[in-house]
Amino acid sequence: MPTEHLFATGAEAAADLAARIASILSQAVAARGIATLAVSGGRSPRPVLEALRQVDLDWGKVVVTLVDERWVAPDSADSNERLVRETLLQGAAAQARFVPMKTDAADAYAGQPAVEAAFAALPWPLDIVLLGMGDDGHTASLFPGAAELAEGLSSSARTIAVTPPAAPHQRLSLTASAILDSRQVFLQIGGAGKKAVYDRALAGGPVEELPIRLALLQDQVPVDVWIAQS
Ligand SMILES: O=C1O[C@H](COP(=O)(O)O)[C@@H](O)[C@H](O)[C@H]1O
């Protein structure tokens, strides 16, 4: 079962989560000389990443990558890479090595093999995988109803190309096995709507219905959840 961290506001949750991430990255650098962090996109991680970049860390020994990416140009407003570059990779934190998920390939399916090779070269397990969750229970870009969902939940590959059934843009996503090949999974949720989805996921049921269950209903890797009421 996840360990829950409850906060009244998103700002308080973000500050606490950023401090926890910084502590783990610092310990990883001290222990292994390198730290790895995979972050989600969307709206939720922005305040966490902005707080994290201000932390005094040996950023040159930190590898930052993505949990998922939309197949859009890196300067698109929808790009998760752009989010990370604008919020986290600033100041001293710009010394971190960023491993993108978007290539120049024509689409996500053509791009996946090169991304898979880049991810195979990372030091696994990742120290932290920071997940978000959509209102439909998707996490990373593992969407309920997607044609690629079963493969994303079962494949031993680290990455998969996905076409979401409703959301825009083809995606590149970590698979469930890659998400769980980590030392620590964090999940960030905010607001009553997402809390209701989270509670439903936690109550049990098929992963295919609410893919966030892949992280919540497992005992392979510790999962901590930061929950903000607003
Ligand atoms: O499309 C995506 O959605 C989820 C949730 O995003 P949020 O804006 O509701 O926080 C996110 O975790 C994922 O990385 C992103 O690509």
Q: Which of 17, 37, 44, 135 should be mutated for ligand 1, with most atoms under 8 A from CB?
A: 44
102, 141, 172, 174, best to mutate for ligand 1 pocket (most atoms within 8 Å of CB): 141
- Residue 1 pLDDT level (bands cut at 50, 70, 90): confident
Structure token pair of residue 169: 């843009």
Q: In the structure, which protein residues have their CB atom closer than 6 angstroms to any atom of ligand 1?
A: 40-44, 67-68, 80, 132, 134, 141, 167
Mutate to test the pocket of ligand 1, among 87, 138, 174, 188 (most ligand atoms within 8 A of CB): 138
Give 174 Cα–ligand 1 centroid separation in angstroms: 13
Mean pLDDT, residues 54-72: 98
Q: Nearest 5 degrees, angle CA 214-CA 65-CA 109?
A: 70
Report the distance separating Cα 41 and Cα 33, nearest Å.
27
Assessment of whether the complete model's pTM goes beyond 0.90: yes
Residue 108 identity (one-letter amino acid):
A
Give the model confidence (pLDDT) of 155-184 as tens digits: 999 999 999 999 999 999 999 999 999 999
Look at residue 230 in the predicted model and tell me its pLDDT. Answer: 87
CB neighbourhood size of 25 (10 A): 26
Tokens of 168: 């825009």
**Contact criterion met (CB below 8 Å) for 66 and 85:** no
pLDDT in tens, 6-38: 999 999 999 999 999 999 999 999 999 999 999
Determine contact, residues 120/65, Cβ cutoff 8 Å.
Answer: no
Residue 197: which domain range? 3-228
Q: Could you identify the atom of ligand 1 that is nearest to the CA of residue 138?
A: 4
pLDDT score, position 201: 98
**Structurally, how many domains does the chain consist of?**
1
Instruction: Name the token pair of 209.
Output: 């219905």
| Region 126-142 average pLDDT | 98
Q: What share of the chain is helix, strand, coil (3-state, %, to 5)?
A: 35, 20, 40
Closest ligand 1 atom, CA of 40?
Answer: 14
Ligand 1 centre to CA of 190 (Å) is 12
CA of 44 to the centre of ligand 1 (A): 7
Q: Are strands 185-190 and 223-228 parallel, antiparallel or unpaired?
A: parallel
CB contact at 8 A, 159 and 112: yes
CATH number, residue 27 = 3.40.50.1360
Residue-wise pLDDT tens digits, 98-119: 999 999 999 999 999 999 999 9
Flag whether pLDDT at 152 surpasses 90: yes
